[in-house]
Amino acid sequence: MAASYLNFYICNGGVVAPVAGADTDDEALEIIARCYPGREVVPVPGLVIAYGGGGPHCITQQVPVKPWLNVRSC
C-alpha cells in the first residue's frame, strides 16, 4: 500500500495529516507545520485510511456543509 503525506486536509485552525509509522513521519509533519503556521497539525493513521478510500482529504470531500452555514473552511 502506498501512502502519501500530501493527502492532508486543511480545516479551521488545523491540518489533518496522514502518517505511516515511518521514520520520516516527524519530518513530514514539521514541513507541513511550517507551510501552515498557526494551525495545529494532527497526525492520523494514513495506511488505515488508505485501505478505506484514500487519505484525509479524499475521505472528507463528500461531507456536506451545514445548510445554515455558507462558509468555506479553506
Q: 54 Cβ partners below 8 Å, 6+ apart? A: 7
Is the C-alpha dihedral spanning 36, 10, 40, 7 positive or negative?
negative
58 catalytic per annotation: yes
- Report the pLDDT value the prediction gives residue 52, as an integer from 0 to 100: 66
Distance (Å, whole) CA 41 – CA 25: 12
pLDDT, tens digit, 9 for 90 and up, residues 13-53? 999 999 988 999 999 999 999 999 999 999 998 877 776 66
Is pLDDT of 74 > 50?
no
